[in-house]
Each structure stands twice: as structure tokens, then as C-alpha cells.
């Protein structure tokens, strides 16, 4: 089975990290790798074990976790800064991935 060229893969990961706060479509990520969306999605999942969407969401939650630990920013600002668009979506996704709300996470990890 073919794999994504290491340099292309690194370029996509760097793009994701640099643009967490922006909207990232599958088409945009595939273009970054110079692949069709279908092939990109298949090869990305093979390389990471996650779909591109799930990987981006996971990276956004990880970035939010760091912000919750290191800043006193309001949750709505963290949601916007990590690409969730609104606090409600941020809270829903964060709770689904971590088992607790962002506020509870901040409270428990800052002790």
C-alpha cells in the first residue's frame, strides 16, 4: 500500500499546527499535500490512525488544554483561538474528547 511522502506529510502537519484557529477543509489539506482529497484522506488515516478531521480536532483540543493551563483567557477566547468558532461547540467537543468541560478541566488541573 502506498504511503504519503514524508516531506508532504510534514508540510501538512506544519500547516495544521500553524492554522489551528482557521477553518481547514479536506480540500485545503489535500492541496497542501498535492494529492486528491480521496487519496490524501486515505493516506493520512494510514499514517496517523485518525481521519484528517479527527486529527485536527484532537490538535485543537490539545492546544486548548495548554491554554487552559497557562492562561486566564476566557473560555470563549480559547474557543476562538483554537478554531472552534463558538464556546458551545468548543465545550461540546472538549467534553466529548476529555470527559469534562473546559471549565472543570481548568479547575482540576490548576490546583
Instruction: Give the SS3 label for residue 20.
Output: coil
Q: Is residue 77 part of a domain?
A: yes
Counting the structural domains of the chain, the total is 2
Give residue 66's domain range: 56-109
Contact 52, 46 (CB under 8 A): no
State how far the Cα of 109 lies from the Cα of 99, in Å rounded to an integer.
Answer: 14
Joined together, the cell numbers standing for residue 7 give 516531506
**Quick check: 106 pLDDT over 90?**
yes
- Give tens-digit pLDDT for 15-40: 999 999 998 999 999 999 999 999 99
Instruction: Supply the pLDDT for residue 6.
Output: 86
Q: CATH no. for residue 15? A: 1.10.10.60
Together in a domain, 105 and 60: yes
| Residue 17 belongs to a domain | yes
DSSP state, residue 21? T
Q: What does the pLDDT look like over 44-97, one tens digit per residue?
A: 999 999 999 999 999 999 999 999 999 999 999 999 999 998 999 999 999 999
- Is residue 97 included in any domain, yes or no? yes
What are the b/e assignments for 42-67, b being 16+ CB within 10 Å?
bbbeeebeeebeebbbebbbebbbeb
Q: What is the structure's pLDDT at 1?
A: 43
* Domain end call among 14, 29, 52: 52
Q: How far apart are CA 66 and CA 46, in angstroms?
A: 27
State whether 33 and 76 are in the same domain: no
Is 1 a member of any domain? Answer: no
Other Cβ atoms closer than 10 A to 104: 13
| Three cell numbers written together for 55 | 486529527
Give a yes or no: residue 72 inside a domain: yes
Amino acid at each position: 500500500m502506498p504511503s504519503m511522502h514524508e516531506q508532504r506529510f510534514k508540510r501538512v502537519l506544519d500547516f495544521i499546527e500553524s492554522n489551528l484557529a482557521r477553518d481547514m477543509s479536506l480540500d485545503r489539506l489535500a492541496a497542501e499535500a498535492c494529492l486528491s482529497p480521496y487519496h490524501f484522506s486515505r493516506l493520512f488515516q494510514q499514517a496517523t490512525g485518525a481521519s484528517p478531521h479527527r486529527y485536527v480536532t484532537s490538535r485543537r483540543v490539545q492546544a486548548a488544554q495548554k491554554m487552559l493551563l497557562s492562561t486566564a483567557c476566557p473560555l470563549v477566547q480559547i474557543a476562538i483561538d483554537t478554531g472552534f468558532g463558538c464556546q458551545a461547540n468548543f465545550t461540546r467537543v472538549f467534553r466529548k474528547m476529555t470527559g469534562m468541560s473546559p471549565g472543570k478541566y481548568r479547575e482540576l488541573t490548576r490546583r
